Amino acid sequence: MEQAEIQEKIFAYMEQMKGKKKLKEKDVIKKIVEDTGEDKDTVKKALRAMIDVGRLMYSYGGGASSVEIPSEEYLREKGLLK
């Protein structure tokens, strides 16, 4: 499976879970590995690539970090959305 396909699966899962539960990076990786059968490192690289380009972002709260889809306001601030 190509990285772009893995990224689409990650994004679909993130959209499905949005507002329901804060997901840690390891939770996302574990779910996608289960669903696709890809190895952990491949999924982790795809997730990190999405974070690097701003499609996903880390957030911090309560002493824990989580991964989430950035808001449109955040994307505008960073110049990633017009």
Q: What's the pLDDT tens digit per position in 10-48?
A: 999 999 998 888 899 999 999 999 999 999 999 999 999
What residue ranges define each of the domains in the chain, with the CATH number in brackets? 3-77 (1.10.10.10)
Contact 67, 25 (CB under 8 A): yes
Cα–Cα distance, 14 to 79 (Å, whole number): 22
Total-model pTM:
0.86
